[in-house]
Amino acid sequence: MNLTNKIALVTGAASGIGMEIAKEFLAHGACVAIADRDLDHARLAATMLDPGGSRSLSVGMDVSNEDQVEAGVDQVARHFGAIDILVSNAGIQIVGPLEEFKFSDWKTLLAVHLDGAFLTTRACLKYMYPVGSGSIIYMGSVHSKEASVLKAPYVTAKHGLEGLAKVVAKEGAAHGVRANVICPGFVRTPLVDKQIPEQARELGISEDDVIKKVMLKDTVDGEFTTIEDVARCAVFLASFPSNALTGQSIVVSHGWFMQ
Ligand code: NAD
């Protein structure tokens, strides 16, 4: 699996899964734009992953803001001369029961996951279509397939990404652009660490029970998925050589969900 001379843009790459994907892409020879709404952390990640600085670029970008996405994607294309791979990964989690869910929180979550995926896709297609190739990877979730209590907007958004990927696969085919979704199970990142005490409070159970009886109860082995597991899948999808693998989703979840 070789990504030499490929230019990748990874959103939400200052932390967790996105940062590990940036690391693996660099290890496989790519140049990587580390985009995040938290520019300071994006810079820190770039310094850590690419101390020489020649194969990375940190970009401040709120993926739900059209102007920032357009400017950020243009900046990446100007800097590296192309964009071959987009990983639309930036995401947040807000948990709560539907009957109390604030409309503002609903809109914020959908904006990051769905507006973000649409805006970054549209901006990158501008650079992929003229050269006749590109690979777009959306960070879905087992929640692209399954529902859980307390996660209405997240489950809605993650299901929506599957629809977007299929449309991009169909429209992009004529231009050599593929689109796929990675669907991880629970991964110990700040996004998950934040929701363990929140879910314990909402469900009236211990944090240990949230992990064992909620998050990992349907896995085959009671194990968390790791950032490395997800990043390996991203390399596989990014480097896949043909349109045979497009419009698909890969579930990486220790068997929590089996297709
Ligand atoms: P994380 O909190 O470690 O990282 C998310 C990153 O996204 C952060 O650096 C944050 O600053 C950035 N971000 C948030 N909103 C943004 C915005 N509007 N614009 C730009 N950047 C923004 O979380 P993570 O667990 O690494 O999650 C990454 C992706 O993986 C998300 O889409 C998440 O839904 C998905 N996912 C996570 C898990 C899990 O268990 N951790 C499971 C399945 C899917």
Q: What is the pLDDT of residues 74-84, one digit of tens each?
A: 999 999 999 99
State the average pLDDT over residues 92-118: 97
All residues at 6 or more sequence positions from 98 whose CB lies less than 8 Å from its CB, including other chains: 152
Q: What is the pLDDT of residue 102?
A: 98
**Percentage of the residues of the chain whose pLDDT score is greater than 90:** 98
Query: Residue 34 forms beta bridges with which residues?
Result: 10, 58
The pTM of this model reads 0.98
Check pocket membership of 64 for ligand 1, CB cut-off 6 A: yes
Rounded distance, CA 195 to CA 190, Å? 9
State the average pLDDT over residues 122-127: 98
Q: What is the pLDDT of residue 1?
A: 80
pLDDT(153) > 90? yes
Report how far apart, in Å, the C-alpha atoms of 159 and of each of 78, 170, 184, 220, 241 are. Answer: 33, 18, 13, 23, 26
Which pLDDT band holds residue 259 (cuts at 50, 70, 90)? confident
pLDDT tens string 107-121: 999 999 999 999 999
The residue from 127, 129, 138, 154 that is catalytic is: 154
Check pocket membership of 90 for ligand 1, CB cut-off 6 A: yes
Q: What is the pLDDT of residue 112?
A: 98
Which residue, 125, 88, 135, is CA-closest to 243? 135
Ligand 1 atom 2: residue of nearest CA: 191
CA triple 14-252-183, angle to 5 deg:
65
* Cα 13 to ligand 1 centroid, rounded to whole Å: 8
pLDDT tens string 10-42: 999 999 999 999 999 999 999 999 999 999 999
Most distant CA atoms of the chain, gap in Å: 54
Rounded distance, CA 44 to CA 124, Å? 24
**Crossing angle of helices 16-27 and 227-239, rounded to 10°:** 50
Q: Which of 95, 181, 189 to mutate to test the pocket of ligand 1 (most atoms within 8 A of CB)?
A: 189
Report how far apart, in Å, the C-alpha atoms of 214 and of each of 4, 148, 231 are. Answer: 41, 9, 24
Q: What is the pLDDT of residue 94?
A: 95
Q: Is 129 a catalytic residue?
A: no
Ligand 1 atom 3: residue of nearest CA: 16
Check pocket membership of 190 for ligand 1, CB cut-off 6 A: yes
Report how far apart, in Å, the C-alpha atoms of 163 and of each of 26, 59, 157, 226 are. Answer: 29, 28, 10, 26
Which pLDDT band holds residue 55 (cuts at 50, 70, 90)? very high
Q: What is the pLDDT of residue 218?
A: 96
Which residue, 51, 54, 17, 57, is CA-closest to 33? 57
Q: 7-184+226-252: which CATH architecture?
A: 3-Layer(aba) Sandwich (3.40)
Query: Mean pLDDT of all residues in the chain?
Result: 97
Pairing of strands 85-88, 134-139: parallel
All CATH 3.40.50.720 domain ranges of the chain, comma separated, are: 7-184+226-252
pLDDT tens string 193-231: 998 999 899 899 999 999 999 999 999 999 999 999 999
